[in-house]
Amino acid sequence: MLIRARHFSAAAILILLAGVQAQHSVTLSSQSLCAVTGSTVKIPCTFTPGHSSVTQREWYRVQSSEGEPRDLRKDPQYSGRVSVRTVTSDCELTVWDVRVSDSGVYNFRFKTQSNDWISDSSGVHLTVTDLKVTVSDSGRWKTKLSCITTCTLSNNPTYIWYKNGQRVTDRYRNELNVDSWESGYSCSIKGHEDLRSPAVCVFDEKSCWSVTYSTQTICSLIGSSVDIHSYFTFPDRYKVTEVFWFIKDQAGVEPVDVREDEEYQGRVQYTQISQNNCRLRITNLRERDTQTYRFRFYTDDPTGKYTGYPGVSLSVTDLKVTVSDWYSWGKKLICITTCTLSNNPTYIWYKNGQPVTDRYRNELYVSSGESGSYSCAVRGHEDLRSPAVCVFDQNSCWSVTYSLQTICALIGSSVDIHAYYTCPEQRSTLQPVWHIMDRELSHTDEKVEFLKERPNMSTLRLKNLTEMDSTRYHLRFKYKQTYGSDGVSLSLTGLQVKVAVPYLQRIRLSCNTTCTLSNNPTYIWYKNGQRVSECESASCSVAAVGGAVSYSCDVEGLYSLLSPPVYSPKNTSAVVLSSGDTVEGDSVTLSCSSDANPPVLTYSWFKQRAAADTLLTTGQNYSISNISSQHSGLYYCTAHNQLGQHTSAPTHLDVLYLPKNTRAVVLSSGDTVEGDSVTLSCSSDANPPVLTYSWFKQRAAADTLLTTGQNYSISNISSQHSGLYYCTAHNQLGQHNSTLTLLDVLYPPKNTRAVVLSSGDTVEGDSVTLSCSSDANPPVLTYSWFKQRAAADTLLTTGQNYSISNMRSQHSGLYYCTAHNQLGLHNSTLTPLDVLYSPRNTSVTVDPSVSGDSVTLLCRSDSNPNSSYTWYKKTEGDVILIGNGTNLTLSSRPDGFYYCTARNRIGSSNSSEWPCTSDNRVMKYAASGVTVVLVLLFIAVFLWIRRRGSLFSNRSKDYNKNNSAPVYGNVSAMTSDPTHTASSDDQDDLQYSSIYFRNSNTQEATLYSTVQLPQALKQEEEVEYATVSLASSRAVPEEDIYNNLKSDK
């Protein structure tokens, strides 16, 4: 049930809405119309307002862009060309003299008290087209002509063809087949015969020179306006350069343009509707305008000119009422003219100045009961009435009427006020007098002129009108004090151009007045002083332009009464509103002014920039608060109105400020090296400019002034000049310090120093580090370490520190380092490295200088610091201390083994035992010697097997002139410690000890003391030498034995 209820409610709402919509609707009879240029278009329309009263109705043109539609009756583009019927629900639109620019969509809408705008859903699309004749072959001797349009004309029109300007009878289709006769052809639509197409030449261009007229005779009323149409043809290869109308035709004399005739000044206008059409309009016709008017045109060929004969005969007439009896009780009135008025006019009758309704013929029947003053006029020219006549009662003929009740004229112009009066025939000599209110106008007034153009008509001409002349004017008889109704109200106005907002690059101009000018005048438009030919109405659409432009309007015949011009902005200027200097932190305002009409709509402010100027703000003034130096620069403004824009010249905003962004720099093309010359330069942003620069060097105590001036120069620079410098910039507003800038003087290393990093003595086996330091800029790149040697110093290592682990005595010596940078190098002084070690290689030798049975033993040892020596004797049961010192002298040769002990504060070392024996000692010594030789041979074979090579050499050298054989002291093969940082070049020379025996025995075996074997062969080691010396009292054969051993890894 709920669902059904909802469905029912929705359906009810839809029915209700449909009913409301049906009550309010607009119906247009057609969706599209096609009309010929210059014709009149009627768009039928009806609307249903429902039960509400209509508050507003209008026709409008549907715009292609957003915006409120505009009532056509208020649109200057349609001024005087539209009419809307307002009878009940009829809303028919009539547009006269349609133009191609009128093409578009039109719609009607209305508004009620209870509804917003209601309109048709789609509107009517109107297309306005020109007529054009096309030519195509139809046969051997025939040519086919077609009268074409850009749209299909409504109402199935009848076409009319013209040959050489003359109508071709019985040809009413839009196609025409013609023979080979040379002719010029054009076409038109029935009912619009004056709107012909441009003519085309067929077969021979000679036949195309023609001028024809829409009519040969015209009859018009005095005071009215008349249009005379001409149509002309010429070959396509020519171009028309001049057209005009003339009235005086004399043989051998060039005709004179009628516009140059004083009689027609201000009353003649030419309008060219199409390429082959020219219309002559004469306004305010006078009786003497009765003439024959001919059209003539010239082309760009000197011989190409043509005149249309015989021309158009214009007759000018006035209206007159004749009275005749009509039976015994009435009168017959006839409104007559001296020629037959054109266009079958409709007549209007007036009784005592008031229209008589429903009487539109030129005859009027009046009964005796309708006595009064009667006159007639023609519809469209109601102000051109005939003189009034009295019918029946003469006393009823006192009347004054006016052609117009209100007149609007331009200030500075002249105006004619027409009055029609009647009076009894016996009073016909009386003349009415013009008054302003109760004051009678006089002939002596220079601004006033009284004209008597016809009977029963009085014209008041007011000249050089001013706003003071705006009042009510009356014509009255002194005899009867008769006024014409309320008289004539004269309003005065000036011309003023109004400019609409540009739309689609076009600008619509309107020539406005405070009242509606009488006589439907023709407007003239001027652009920059030159006439705009395409604009003749009160509105004009012009293309928007970028440069300076001005427009003004005028009324045909009143050329000296131009409107004040409207123009794009000019004389635009930008100024700084300030009573004095503009200092940073102040507030300032820039103001823009410009001369423009209409007034400037928008001011825009810009700042000139190197890349592109950007919009700052809009408005006449541009204010800046808390102004800074960044605001300094060139500013300009642009003034805009509807017609264009104009830019001012740039104005300079000069913001004063104390120095800032102060900067100190070193002017150098590269590095600053000791001995060079260098300049430091100071720069600062200040306004007014910096007066003084001061230079300072930062110091620990206090910075002191170095010099003044923008630049500070130093010659023969040294490392002492390195440091942080700054400058101070001063102007009238204050000062500012630069940031610190480093002056970096480069120099090669100096003050290089090598030191041993140790907290105490350096003992063998310790680790030690030698460190190198140097003063250099740029900093030291490389440190190199050397040990001084007798031959040549060699590189030990690189690096600031040189570390040696497991120190040996061989590392002792003088060391130095070298510091290198990009500019050079420097050596440190020598630094000794003193390695302390306990005694070693302690040995006992016999002093050979002692003779006899006594013997002197010498104890030798390698140690640092020096050792003290103690002597011991080793017996079979005990060891006995027998002495101290380096030497031990034995007075006899007691049997036993002797040895010495070497001591220092690092440690001690015992020598090998020295035997002192009797006979069997020689054999013991020999056995020992053989053992040593065998061991050495074993080592050599072992090394050869390891492919490290071996070298055995025997050298013979006489070390002892007393034929003492050398005795071997020590063979030392240094261990190769993998943790040792020193190279093999660091090893000191070998230490040697010798033992000498002096004995009376005749034979003594060679003695070998000690052989020490290498502990390790893992690393490559220096060659160690071993020497064994044997001495004997006998001659020893050349049995000196030298053993050299080189152990390679």
d(CA 860, CA 656): 95
Q: What is the pLDDT of residue 1000?
A: 40
Average pLDDT over every residue of 332-349: 89
pLDDT value for 312: 93
Answer yes or no: do 191 and 138 share one domain: yes
> Residues 641, 676: one domain?
no
**Domain final position from 602, 625, 649:** 649
Burial class (CB in 10 A: 0-12, 13-18, 19+), 9: exposed
Kindly report the number of other CB atoms within 10 A of residue 466's CB atom: 11
Contacts of 563 by beta carbon, 8 Å cutoff, 6+ apart = 494, 495, 496, 497, 511, 552, 553, 554
Same domain, 578 and 518: no
Residue 1043: band (very low, low, confident or very high) from pLDDT cuts 50, 70, 90? very low
pLDDT band at 170 (very low <50, low <70, confident <90, very high): low
Does residue 298 fall inside a structural domain? no
pLDDT of residue 820: 97
DSSP conformational letter for 992 = -
Q: What pLDDT sits at residue 139? A: 60
Task: Report if residue 215 sits inside a domain.
Answer: no
- Whether 662 and 636 map to the same domain: the answer is no
Distances (CA, A) of 1028 to 225, 483, 1010: 160, 176, 9
* Position 617 confidence tier, pLDDT thresholds 50, 70, 90: very high
Would the pLDDT of 852 be above 60?
yes
* Amino acid (one-letter) located at 765: G
**Signed CA dihedral, 769, 773, 779, 783: sign only:** negative
Say how far apart CA 397 and CA 400 lie, in whole Å.
9
pLDDT value of position 993: 39
Q: Which amino acid does the sequence have at 775?
A: D
Cα–Cα distance measured from residue 426 to residue 407, given in angstroms and rounded to the nearest whole number: 33
**924 against 433, higher pLDDT:** 433
Q: Is the pLDDT of residue 394 over 60?
A: yes
Q: Which of 347-361, 450-464, 955-969 has the lowest mean pLDDT?
A: 955-969
Question: DSSP states of 589-647 as a string?
Answer: EEEEEEEEESPPSEEEEEE--SS--EEEEESSEEEESS--GGG-EEEEEEEEETTEEEE
Considering the domain architecture, whether residues 678 and 603 belong to the same structural domain is answered as no
What are the Cα distances from residue 48, in Å, to 24, 124, 607, 820? Answer: 5, 18, 60, 110
The residue count of the chain comes to 1049
pLDDT band at 403 (very low <50, low <70, confident <90, very high): confident
**Cα–Cα distance for residue pair 778/780, rounded to 1 Å:** 7
| Whether residue 753 is found in the same domain as residue 712 | no
Q: What is the domain-level CATH number for residue 818?
A: 2.60.40.10
Contact by Cβ (8 Å): 459, 453: yes
Asked if residue 813 lies in contact with residue 788, where contact means CB atoms within 8 angstroms, the answer is yes
Contact (CB, 8 A) for 388 and 373 = yes
As given in the structure block, the two tokens for residue 709 are 């001036």
Q: Write down the pLDDT at residue 1015.
A: 39
Please write the tens of the pLDDT for every residue from 757-768.
988 889 989 999
Q: Please, what is the average pLDDT of the chain?
A: 80
**Torsions phi, psi of 32, nearest 5?**
-150, 150
Sign of CA dihedral 594, 600, 605, 608: negative
Mean pLDDT confidence for 864-871: 93
Cβ(356)–Cβ(288) below 8 Å: no
| Contact (CB, 8 A) for 856 and 847 | yes
Averaged over 729-737, what is the pLDDT? 95
Contact 51, 113 (CB under 8 A): no
Question: Encoding tokens for residue 1009?
Answer: 């003391």
Reading the block at residue 715, the tokens are 């010659």
In sign, the C-alpha dihedral spanning 233, 236, 238, 242 is positive
- State CA 630 to chain mean position distance: 20
Total domain count, the chain:
8
116 within a domain of the structure (yes/no): yes
How do residues 278-328 score in pLDDT, each as one tens digit? 889 998 888 899 999 999 988 888 877 888 888 999 999 989 999 998 887
Least confident among 295-304, 333-342, 553-562, 951-960: 951-960
pLDDT digits (tens, 9 = 90+) for 974-1002: 333 433 344 434 444 434 433 344 444 43
The residue that leads in pLDDT, 413 or 137, is 413
Per-residue pLDDT reduced to its tens digit, 112-163: 877 788 888 888 999 998 888 888 876 666 788 899 998 988 778 889 888 8
Cβ-contact 169, 190 below 8 angstroms: no
Residue 676 domain-assigned?
yes
- Which pLDDT belongs to residue 1007? 36
Closest CA to 519 of 264, 75, 223, 289: 223
Tell whether the model's pLDDT for residue 590 goes beyond 70: yes
pLDDT over 70, % of the chain:
81
**142 CB-near residues (< 8 Å, 6+ apart):** 177, 178, 179
Same domain, 455 and 504: no
- Predicted local distance difference test score (pLDDT) of residue 851: 66
Domain final residue, candidates 171, 189, 206: 206
What's the helix, strand, coil split of the chain in %, to 5?
Answer: 10, 45, 45
Q: Is the pLDDT of residue 1024 over 60?
A: no
Decide if 644 is inside a domain: yes
**Worst-scoring range by mean pLDDT, 47-51, 289-293, 619-623?**
47-51
Residues 106 and 39 grouped into a single domain: yes
Place of tokens 């249009």: 227
Lookup result for tokens 């705006």:
470
pLDDT at 246: 94
Measured distance CA(498)–CA(161) in Å, rounded: 44
Is the pLDDT reported for residue 354 higher than 60?
yes
pLDDT, one tens digit per residue, over 899-919 is 999 999 989 999 998 887 654
The closest alpha carbon to 197, from 144, 270, 276, belongs to: 276
pLDDT band at 67 (very low <50, low <70, confident <90, very high): low
pLDDT at 788 exceeding the cut of 90: yes
The predicted model scores a pTM of 0.48
From 624, 619, 622, 612, select the one nearest 640 (Cα to Cα): 619
pLDDT of residue 428: 64
Using CB atoms within 10 Å of the CB of residue 1015, give its burial: 0 to 12 exposed, 13 to 18 middle, 19+ buried.
Answer: exposed
Most confident stretch, 235-244, 404-413, 596-605:
596-605
Cα 473 to chain center, whole Å?
Answer: 66
Please indicate, yes or no, if residue 425 is contained in any of the structural domains. Answer: yes
> Is residue 162 domain-shared with residue 102, that is, in the same domain?
no
User: Of the candidates 1035, 1031, 958, which has an alpha carbon nearest to the alpha carbon of residue 994?
Assistant: 1031
> Look-up: residue for tokens 């003050």?
751
pLDDT tens digits along 633-646: 999 999 999 888 99
Question: Last residue of some domain: 516, 532, 559?
Answer: 559
Of the chain, the percentage scoring pLDDT greater than 90 comes to 33
Residues 778 and 710 in one domain: no
Is the pLDDT score of 80 beyond 70? no
Q: Specify the CATH number for the domain of residue 181.
A: 2.60.40
Q: What is the Rg, in whole angstroms, of the alpha carbon atoms belonging to the chain?
A: 68
820 and 848 co-located in one domain? no
Beta pairing class for 745-757 and 672-673: parallel
pLDDT at 112: 81
| 392 vs 207, residue with greater confidence | 392
Phi, psi for 901 (deg, rounded to 5): -120, 125
- Element spanning 16, H or E: helix 2-23
State the Cα–Cα distance between residues 372 and 391, nearest whole angstrom: 5
Tell me whether residue 972 is in a domain: no
Q: How does strand 550-555 pair with strand 566-577? A: antiparallel
Query: Cis bond leading into 865, ω under 30°?
Result: yes
Q: Residue 1018: is its pLDDT beyond 80?
A: no
Residue 102, pLDDT > 50, answer yes
In a domain, 93, yes or no: yes
Domain that holds residue 856: 843-916
**Whether 202 and 163 share a structural domain:** yes
* d(C-alpha 711, C-alpha 694), whole Å: 9
Average pLDDT over residues 564-590: 92
